[in-house]
Structure 1
Amino acid sequence: MRSLKYWLTYNWHLKLISLILATMLWMMVATEASSELGIEVPLEYRNVPARLEITGDTTNSVQVRLRGSSNVIRDISAKNVSTTIDLNNMPPGEKIVPLSPQNVQAPFGAEVIRVNPSSVRFNLERTLTKTVPVVPTILSQLSDGFEIGSVMVNPGKVEIEGPESRISTLTSIATIPIRLDRRQTQIEQVADLDVPDPQIRLQRPAPVVVRVEIRRKGLR
């Protein structure tokens, strides 16, 4: 059986070269100056519970401060850094969620040293669905001696969806303005709906057809 001394001295020159190279590599890494980088990255809200949605003046991006070797920092951009908040199983209501380096996913070799802001505030609201009537918006500039008769809208009602606080106060949806411009006969026009709030959504987005009867005054 060969002794330990044999294994230590066997091909000793190759072992010595390997040791020298490893030492040089370690010294290069250990002595490389560290760098810092501040970047703005999107804030992702993950696992939003079903039939709940985020409202309020939400934070959509954060400032992240990173530290690492120059080689690592040089290749970092907002594309390979992400910041997330997990909303799994959160109940509805107002939330203040702290942000820390643990919320940030950065490339290997980069240390997250700071996140700004340190917390975010938002609301989690129930999603409601509601059916409301469509109200045509008519700008009336008829010729003298004429008036508006009946007005028909098809469909006359639409289904909307959105946060509870926005949906509960909405009683109707208006169309974009329909101009009569001194017309003397019936007009039928396709009109888009003027949804008053970007957080309110039409379940079946589509224009409506508005038919306006124009008649001589005194005729029934």
Structure 2
Amino acid sequence: MKKFFTENTELKLITLVLSLILWFIVTLKGQSEVIMELPIEYKNIPKGVEITKTSAKFINVSIKGQERIVKNLLPKDINVFVDLSKVKQGETMFYFTKDNIKMPPSITLARFNPTNIIVRTEEVFTMMLPIKPVIKGEPKHGFTVSEITSTPEEISATGSRQALNKLEYIETEPVYVKDADATFDKTVRLALKDRTLSYENDIVKIKITITADKTTGAKK
């Protein structure tokens, strides 16, 4: 046994080095690196808090692994998230680490960009806003729109104080009365222009009362 370690030492060392080189070649063969653009997810958002702005919506993640595995990866296989459980109102900077990126153990994270993100959060408020029906067109000659009602008349909107303070009412999508000569109901959606707000519902029923214009003597 002693001779095995003492004889032909130089030859055995060369053999060992060659074996290691061969191992690296075999291991690295078929390796591939790709960059994926992934959406940033937010977890554990405190109750009564809303995200109003972020410095980035996506992160570029560079991953390495066997070409066969990397080639078959889908964006849903890798999750990038930010934990907001301890976030405070205002702007907060979060630094990404490997712990923020969950992926299969068969691949390796090489790098990512950006390395941090700024998240702005605000306290959430709720406000009742009146509904304003939007009417387009003109009734049939000799008739007029005498009354417009909405059911419900107002709706609950939830969001940041800043966003809510910009609104006096919520408009509906247009209701067309062209050539109408009789009262009718129409179910329409609300024209929700500010997507940072949430609403209890987005559909209302509009009643358009059409009456004869006495000044023209029209008859229904």
TM-score by length of 1: 0.74
1:133 Cα deviation from its structure 2 partner = 0.9
Residue 178 (1) aligns with residue 194 (2): no
Map 1:1-220 onto structure 2 (within 5 A): 30-31=24-25, 32-33=27-28, 35-56=32-53, 59-68=56-65, 73=70, 76-108=73-105, 110-218=107-215
Amino acid at match of 1:133: P
Unaligned runs of 5+ in 2: 1-18
Task: Tell me, in whole angstroms, the C-alpha distance in 2 between the residues paired with 1:207 and 1:39.
Answer: 42
Instruction: Check the 8 A contact 2:124/2:159 in 1, yes or no.
Output: yes
Task: Tell me, in whole angstroms, the C-alpha distance in 2 between the residues paired with 1:56 and 1:209.
Answer: 35
Q: 1:113-164, CA deviations, whole angstroms, 9 ceiling, x for partnerless residues? A: 3111122233212222111111111114133343322222222111122233
Task: Tell me, in whole angstroms, the C-alpha distance in 2 between the residues paired with 1:117 and 1:106.
Answer: 18
Task: Tell me, in whole angstroms, the C-alpha distance in 1 between the residues paired with 2:70 and 2:20.
Answer: 19
Q: 1:2-44, CA deviations, whole angstroms, 9 ceiling, x for partnerless residues? A: xxxxxxxxxxxxxxxxxxxxxxx98875551154332223322
Q: Structure 2 vs 1, CA of residues 185 and 111 (structure 1 numbering), >3 Å: closer, same or farther?
A: closer
Q: Judge which range, 85-94 or 117-126, deviates more.
A: 117-126
Q: 1:63-100, CA deviations, whole angstroms, 9 ceiling, x for partnerless residues? A: 11223465765664433322221111211112332223
Task: Tell me, in whole angstroms, the C-alpha distance in 1 between the residues paired with 2:79 and 2:22.
Answer: 30
Q: Structure 2 vs 1, CA of residues 159 and 151 (structure 1 numbering), >3 Å: closer, same or farther?
A: same
Q: Judge which range, 102-111 or 72-81, deviates more.
A: 72-81
Between Structure 1 and Structure 2, how many residues are aligned? Answer: 197
Q: Secondary structure of the residue that 1:89 maps to in structure 2?
A: coil
Instruction: Check the 8 A contact 1:64/1:114 in 2, yes or no.
Output: yes
Instruction: Check the 8 A contact 1:154/1:208 in 2, yes or no.
Output: yes
Instruction: Check the 8 A contact 2:181/2:210 in 1, yes or no.
Output: no
Q: Judge which range, 170-179 or 57-66, deviates more.
A: 57-66
Q: Structure 2 vs 1, CA of residues 65 and 188 (structure 1 numbering), >3 Å: closer, same or farther?
A: closer
Unaligned runs of 5+ in 1: 1-24
TM-score by length of 2: 0.74
Amino acid at match of 2:141: D
Instruction: Check the 8 A contact 1:101/1:114 in 2, yes or no.
Output: no
Instruction: Check the 8 A contact 2:183/2:207 in 1, yes or no.
Output: no
